[in-house]
Structure 1
């Protein structure tokens, strides 16, 4: 009797679980379904060799250039304002010190 009860409960649990995962998709328009599965190939694709690697381009903004120098030197500049960066650059130039090293020293004070 105990084994029959376990079998019945197991079947009930399996039916309940499979009912929960049953696909409840409503009727959809076949044209929409096809559009979502289509891959459009454009004949005017750009050759990858024609695209410059954006990481190699130099930023046009002075502050962006300064932040990039700090990033490449491993210095987090997220808490430094733009005006402070410009001030640090000026002070480093006056003292003939590497900008990234100067900022690192100033941040660690």
Structure 2
């Protein structure tokens, strides 16, 4: 019986871990999409900015509570 409980807990832990990875990727993908869309709408070509850098700009602008587009413009 104890073996079954340990096996269930192990499977449950693995399932939650996998779901948390997917949720993190979904949020990052969503932020990246929003960031590129905002820049596009502002007439800014973001094709030269890597996804990683763009997400960093997104997080920094959010943290500093400033306009994302203005934040990126100041760094280009």
Pick one of 42, 46, 56 that aligns with 1:87. Answer: 56
Which residue number in structure 2 is paired with residue 68 of structure 1? 37
Q: CA deviation at 1:76?
A: 1.2
Structure 2 alignment gaps of length 5 or more: 1-28
Residue 104 (1) aligns with residue 76 (2): no
Greater relative CO, 1 or 2 (CA 8 Å, sep 6+): 2
Structure 1 alignment gaps of length 5 or more: 1-59
Q: Which runs of 4+ in 1 moved over 3 A?
A: none
Q: Contact 2:31 / 2:58 at 8 angstroms: preserved in 1? A: no
CA RMSD in angstroms comes to: 1.4
Larger helix proportion of the pair? 2
Q: What is the correspondence of 1:1-109 to structure 2 with a 5 Å cutoff? A: 61-107=30-76
What count of residue pairs does the alignment treat as equivalent? 48
